[in-house]
Amino acid sequence: MDEGEILEISENPGSPCAIRNPAGLSKGRIEDNAYANALAQFDKAVSHLHLKHGVMDMLRCPKRELSVNFPVMMDSGDIRIFRGYRVHHSVVKGPTKGGIRYSPNVTLDEVRALAMWMTWKCALMNLPYGGAKGGVIVNPKELSTRELERLTRRYATEISVLMGPESDIPAPDVGTNPQVMAWIMDTYSMHRGFSVPAVVTGKPVEIGGSLGRTEATGRGVGFCILEALKLRGISPENATVAIQGFGNVGSVTARMAHELGMKVVAISSSKGGLYKPDGIDPRMVTRHLERGGSVTDFPGPDSISNEDLLTLDCDVVIAAAIENQITSQNADRIKARIVAEGANGPTTPEADEILDEKGAFIIPDILCNAGGVIVSYLEWVQDLQSFFWPVDEINRKLQYLMAKAFESVIEATKQFKVSNREAAQILAIQRISDAILIRGIYP
Ligand code: NAD
């Protein structure tokens, strides 16, 4: 989608941040746009707060955006130009934090939305960070390892004007992994002339990564699901779960759900899914992937499409792939009583309304998948102090912060009489607004 097409300044023309959806675009196209969705969520949440207009305008648009076009030498000797982004949404609470995505579908609007959600997520978790996100338009599976390394090192160099342990700390996201983080850390360190492990999180443990980081997001999702099941009066042993996306987040969540006695009836990757009513053992699928297989060629279960997986008759559906998966087109067919957002932005505002009407319990992304940024924060702290904690300590801190945030969101739903998502965003936005006003507007 062409970013320029979807958003325009129509209200309060004096402010460049008063962005509204243009009247001329069809609902479907706006619903496809993650940034338009993030803004619609923001508008809904702030309607319950008494924020200054200027503060609202400030929070509606990113603090800064960097677009880069850069060359990479391919193995064939050809030079290819790639496009990448790094967006900082807010720098009020501290350095910015947010993942880097490698995907052919990356757009500037997607990165803007993901950066905004990172601001809310860090604020909800009371972490001393602002929100950021980065992305490169590339299918990493089409590159050799050496090409991926050259692309990563060049992109890291291009965004190094923003990056740093005190200014902007990237982490993995869709299409990137600990090895990519290691190359970023090494590139930044080579430019500085000494090792700077705290410049990225989600690194391998051997170079300053934290124990428990790889599993952290999935563990946090699992923790939230347990709390939601408790509130809905369903015991884990009787719960059936369908999981869209069997990557870092989805596979860890699946294994945790299985260990807690839940029946994982369906899983999927971008190529399609597997369905088995009496349960799939996610540990076996993980082993199959480690041996070079893919989700869709795992022997045994029936095939299912990603679309049909979301509408299965089960207790919990976990959206752990990408944004805009539960929309006005399929929300009325969702049967699960609990929707856990392992992914960022998987449910559009239109779908939110339909699910709320049906009484589904949505665990919103900024709460549900915050385990990742929590342990990224713990990794950064450990790197800065050069003193590392055992995994039990990490998991204890993770659980404490998740539990506190979960409880505060449920309390806010009662206080403001709003959905879980609105409650989570209200808490986060209020904290950022308070911080802006306490700091004051420079000069
Ligand atoms: P990943 O690349 O490890 O896995 C993504 C999974 O989703 C893969 O199985 C992929 O095949 C599948 N997928 C991709 N496109 C799909 C589509 N159109 N339909 C169905 N499946 C599709 O990525 P990840 O790190 O697990 O991230 C998944 C989501 O979780 C993203 O939204 C990401 O922003 C969010 N998230 C990740 C972390 C983290 O720590 N990795 C933290 C917070 C949030």
Ligand 1 centroid from CA 128, angstroms: 25
Q: Please state the separation of Cα 310 from the chain's center in Å.
A: 19
Residue 344 confidence (pLDDT) above 90: yes
Residue with tokens 């998948």: 369
The Cα–Cα gap between 258 and 269 comes to 18
Choose one of 322, 366, 376 to mutate for the ligand 1 pocket test, by most ligand atoms within 8 angstroms of C-beta: 322
Q: The whole model's pTM is what? A: 0.94
Give the pair of three-digit tokens for residue 383: 């790197």
pLDDT digits (tens, 9 = 90+) for 255-303: 999 999 999 999 999 999 999 999 999 999 999 999 999 999 999 999 9
Phi-psi map region of 12: left, alpha, beta (phi>0 left; psi -120 to 50 alpha): left
Atom of ligand 1 nearest to the CA of 249: 26
Q: Which of 45, 13, 167, 44 is nearest to 432 (CA)?
A: 45
Please work out whether the CB of residue 175 comes within 6 Å of at least one atom of ligand 1.
yes
Residue 207 confidence (pLDDT) above 80: yes
Residue 13 has a pLDDT of 45
Residue identifier of the C-alpha nearest atom 14 of ligand 1: 270
Please work out whether the CB of residue 398 comes within 6 Å of at least one atom of ligand 1.
no
Please work out whether the CB of residue 342 comes within 6 Å of at least one atom of ligand 1.
yes
pLDDT digits (tens, 9 = 90+) for 379-437: 999 999 999 999 999 999 999 999 999 999 999 999 999 999 999 999 999 999 999 99
| 133 is known as an active-site residue | yes
Average pLDDT of the chain, as a whole number: 94
Q: Which of 279, 271, 278, 269 is nearest to 249 (CA)?
A: 269
* Of 378 and 16, the one with more pLDDT: 378
Please give the single-letter amino acid code of residue 142.
E
Percent over 90 (pLDDT), the chain: 93
**27: pLDDT confidence band, cut at 50, 70 and 90?**
low
Residue identifier of the C-alpha nearest atom 20 of ligand 1: 270
Please give the single-letter amino acid code of residue 362.
I
Residue 297 has a pLDDT of 97
Cα diameter, the chain: 65
Name the strands in the sheet holding 361-363, side by side, starting at the edge strand that comes first in the sequence.
Answer: 302-304, 272-275, 263-269, 240-244, 316-319, 338-341, 361-363
Atom of ligand 1 nearest to the CA of 171: 40
Average pLDDT over residues 25-50: 86
Average pLDDT over residues 154-166: 98
The Cα–Cα gap between 21 and 17 comes to 12
The Cα–Cα gap between 224 and 230 comes to 10
Average pLDDT over residues 167-171: 98
Q: Which of 121, 37, 113 is nearest to 369 (CA)?
A: 121
Residue 6 confidence (pLDDT) above 70: no
The Cα–Cα gap between 385 and 356 comes to 44
Residue 32 has a pLDDT of 87
Choose one of 127, 129, 173, 246 to mutate for the ligand 1 pocket test, by most ligand atoms within 8 angstroms of C-beta: 173
The Cα–Cα gap between 214 and 310 comes to 25
Residue 100 confidence (pLDDT) above 60: yes
pLDDT digits (tens, 9 = 90+) for 108-150: 999 999 999 999 999 999 999 999 999 999 999 999 999 999 9
Instruction: Give the strand pairing for 8-9 and 19-20.
Output: antiparallel
Ligand 1 centroid from CA 176, angstroms: 10
Please work out whether the CB of residue 178 comes within 6 Å of at least one atom of ligand 1.
no
CA atoms within 13 A on the CB side of 112: 22
Q: What is the CA radius of gyration of the chain?
A: 21
Please work out whether the CB of residue 246 comes within 6 Å of at least one atom of ligand 1.
yes
* Catalytic annotation, pick one of 63, 121, 133, 203: 133
Contact 292, 144 (CB under 8 A): no
Residue 155 has a pLDDT of 99
**25: pLDDT confidence band, cut at 50, 70 and 90?**
very low
* Sign of the dihedral defined by the CA atoms of residues 135, 210, 362, 59, in that order: negative
**52: pLDDT confidence band, cut at 50, 70 and 90?**
very high
Phi-psi map region of 69: left, alpha, beta (phi>0 left; psi -120 to 50 alpha): beta
**2: pLDDT confidence band, cut at 50, 70 and 90?**
very low
Choose one of 101, 105, 174 to mutate for the ligand 1 pocket test, by most ligand atoms within 8 angstroms of C-beta: 174
Residue with tokens 């087109």: 329
Residue 7 confidence (pLDDT) above 90: no
Q: Which of 141, 140, 101, 105 is nearest to 118 (CA)?
A: 101
Question: What b/e readout covers 289-304, taking b as 16+ CB neighbours within 10 angstroms?
Answer: beeeeebeebeebeeb
The Cα–Cα gap between 368 and 371 comes to 8
Q: Please state the separation of Cα 45 from the chain's center in Å.
A: 19
**4: pLDDT confidence band, cut at 50, 70 and 90?**
very low
Please work out whether the CB of residue 371 comes within 6 Å of at least one atom of ligand 1.
no
Ligand 1 centroid from CA 33, angstroms: 18
Residue 333 confidence (pLDDT) above 50: yes
Residue 9 confidence (pLDDT) above 80: no
- All structural domains of the chain, each given as residue ranges with its CATH number in brackets, are 63-209 (3.40.50.10860), 214-368 (3.40.50.720)
Residue 31 has a pLDDT of 86
The Cα–Cα gap between 91 and 18 comes to 19
Average pLDDT over residues 183-200: 98
The Cα–Cα gap between 409 and 374 comes to 17
Please give the single-letter amino acid code of residue 205.
V
Residue 88 has a pLDDT of 98
Q: Classify residue 217 by its DSSP letter.
A: H
Name the strands in the sheet holding 64-73, side by side, starting at the edge strand that comes first in the sequence.
Answer: 64-73, 79-88, 130-137, 96-103, 168-172
Residue 69 confidence (pLDDT) above 80: yes
